Structure 1
Amino acid sequence: MQNGLLVGLSRQVALSRELDVVANNIANINTTGFKADGAVFEEYIAPTARIGGATGADSRVSFVRDRATWVDLSQGPIERTGNPLDLAIDGGGYLAVQTPRGERYTRNGALQVNAQGELVTAEGYQVLGEAGPVVFQPKDRNITISKDGNISVRAGTDPTDSVRGKLRIIAFDAPGRLQKDGASTFAAPANVTQQPATGIKIEQGAVEKSNVRAVLEMTRMIEVTRSYSQVANMLSQQSDMRRSAIEKLADVLN
């Protein structure tokens, strides 16, 4: 196959990958705590392929290679809900939650209480406090979450506050290395160190929305789709030219 066709194919593969990333971002515009993804591509210079059989350095053929995806960890807009179990983290930091796959971290503060009285995420993961899972008693009412994460309630007819724990808010020395493990949860690799989250505030009755910028993502989708179509047209034209040349050569030989 001609080098031009291979270059075009590599570009189409890269554009297809970028379109998948953009589509996933758009699909999660309304997912609480979701962090947008971006695609990274790089130039790959083939060690043996040459343009027209030339041997100079400038004759090498350049392809597109899908290198990686990256996560935009910037804070999304905070939206008031009025639900006392909802919380948003204003600043850097993550809620620690217990999942079947181990401890994970999230900024999705749309919480609820399960049948066992445990504070859990929408997926049912236990929300961890500094002393373990946060558990409420059957008669607990008037749940209050302070700016620093302390959780207090009124137990039955007792007019005084009772403490049910303090949220475990985690920061990381290299948050860019966190790996997505679900729509809004992250796993921390072994080479990422936990550290106390400082300078944060917990906003009760609010959630952090997705940080996906809808207009930007829609624009990217249009650009990627157009680029893919342009490459497809170019490849189609090259294929037609090659077929025409072969047909003319066959006529000459006959």
Structure 2
Amino acid sequence: MENAQLVALSRQSILRKQLDVVANNMANINTTGFKSDSLHFKEYVMPIASASAFEPQDQDISYVDMFTTRTDFDHGPIKLTNNDFDLALNSDGFFVVEMEDGTQAYTRSGSFLLDNTGQLITADGHPVLTDVGPVTFTQEDGLVEISGDGTISTELGIRGRIQVAEFEDVRALEKIGDTLFKGENPIPAQGVRMVQGAVEASNVYGITEVTRMIEVTRAYDSTSKIVKDLDELRRQAISTLGNFQA
């Protein structure tokens, strides 16, 4: 009976983590460039020798164990904003930004703006990198135009090209924020298609996440009932054994 409760409790623990992931997806349904997450599981089998002294020795005990959190890198829909510094990637790859410690991070969120010095930055304040480093605009630059391959043109001429990096295996990227990722061995993206005056919306689909939330909630309630029923069986067993011995 103890093993049955432990199995149920392990399942409850994972369901709570899964609910946290679904809730975070829903909270970021309107976050530009956000990529949804999901939990993937594996079975953990208790070694027979340690399973139980009261269970048949040829019966394994299986528990639920969290395997990993995976990010869905499917592209989100492109939404026009008519902001000259908003950029959307209509191709694979990531914008490259500079972190506070000088390292690089990667994002699909192209909701950019200028700080008080005229430097192009993300909504979180990280400089956006071009092939010549961060870029700063002045009034003399006038109208800023960014072509499909990321080339920046102003009245002063070409100011560089927006960096876009890609990875051989995007699943190896580590999420370090709602829209930022860390990765190793980036390579220049090929076939870049950039859209000025637009952003990539979140790839979270509300109906899908609501359905997942209902499924997880029902599974959690069902598991809670099992735990409660097992506890009641134990209580009755103790009471019956106590009366028998008396």
TM-score (norm 2): 0.95
What is the CA–CA distance in structure 1 between the aligned matches of 2:53 and 2:88, rounded to whole Å?
Answer: 56
Partner residue, 2:13: 13
Partner residue, 2:146: 145
Q: Tell me whether 1:175 sits opposite 2:177 in the alignment.
A: no
What per-residue deviation string (whole Å, max 9, x for no partner) do you get for residues 131-157 of structure 1? 1101112333211110010111235xx
1:245, distance to aligned residue in structure 2 (A): 1.4
Whether contact under 8 Å (1:174, 1:193) holds in the other structure is no
Partner residue, 2:220: 228
Q: Tell me whether 1:239 sits opposite 2:215 in the alignment.
A: no
Partner residue, 2:107: 106
Q: Tell me whether 1:83 sits opposite 2:83 in the alignment.
A: yes
What is the CA–CA distance in structure 1 between the aligned matches of 2:92 and 2:109, rounded to whole Å?
Answer: 13
Question: Aligned with 1:96: secondary structure?
Answer: strand
1:193, distance to aligned residue in structure 2 (A): 2.1
2:146 is matched by which residue type in structure 1?
Answer: I
1:54 is matched by which residue type in structure 2?
Answer: P
Question: Aligned with 1:152: secondary structure?
Answer: strand
Partner residue, 1:54: 56
Whether contact under 8 Å (2:146, 2:152) holds in the other structure is yes
1:50, distance to aligned residue in structure 2 (A): 4.8
Whether contact under 8 Å (1:15, 1:228) holds in the other structure is yes
Question: Aligned with 2:125: secondary structure?
Answer: coil
Partner residue, 1:201: 193
Q: Which has the higher strand share?
A: 1
User: Which of 159, 162, 169 is the aligned partner of 1:164?
Assistant: 159
1:51, distance to aligned residue in structure 2 (A): 9.1
What per-residue deviation string (whole Å, max 9, x for no partner) do you get for residues 199-231 of structure 1? 221100100000111111110000000000000
Question: Aligned with 2:31: secondary structure?
Answer: coil
Whether contact under 8 Å (1:79, 1:207) holds in the other structure is yes
What per-residue deviation string (whole Å, max 9, x for no partner) do you get for residues 96-122 of structure 1? 100114210111100000111100000
1:166 is matched by which residue type in structure 2?
Answer: R
Question: Aligned with 1:64: secondary structure?
Answer: strand
Whether contact under 8 Å (2:164, 2:192) holds in the other structure is no
Question: Aligned with 1:35: secondary structure?
Answer: coil
Partner residue, 1:158: none
1:8, distance to aligned residue in structure 2 (A): 0.2
What is the CA–CA distance in structure 2 between the aligned matches of 1:17 and 1:196, rounded to whole Å?
Answer: 36
1:81 is matched by which residue type in structure 2?
Answer: T
What is the CA–CA distance in structure 1 between the aligned matches of 2:20 and 2:142, rounded to whole Å?
Answer: 45
CA change 1:90–1:176 in 2 (3 A) is same
What is the CA–CA distance in structure 2 between the aligned matches of 1:41 and 1:123, rounded to whole Å?
Answer: 33
Question: Aligned with 1:126: secondary structure?
Answer: coil
What is the CA–CA distance in structure 1 between the aligned matches of 2:39 and 2:116, rounded to whole Å?
Answer: 41
What is the CA–CA distance in structure 2 between the aligned matches of 1:138 and 1:120, rounded to whole Å?
Answer: 17
What is the CA–CA distance in structure 2 between the aligned matches of 1:100 and 1:243, rounded to whole Å?
Answer: 58
Which 5+ residue runs of structure 1 have no aligned equivalent? 156-161
Partner residue, 2:4: 4
1:52, distance to aligned residue in structure 2 (A): 4.9
Which 5+ residue runs of structure 2 have no aligned equivalent? none
TM-score (norm 1): 0.92
Whether contact under 8 Å (1:152, 1:164) holds in the other structure is yes
Question: How many residues of Structure 1 are paired with residues of Structure 2 in the alignment?
Answer: 243
Partner residue, 1:159: none
Q: Between the two proteins, what is the percent identity of the paired residues?
A: 41
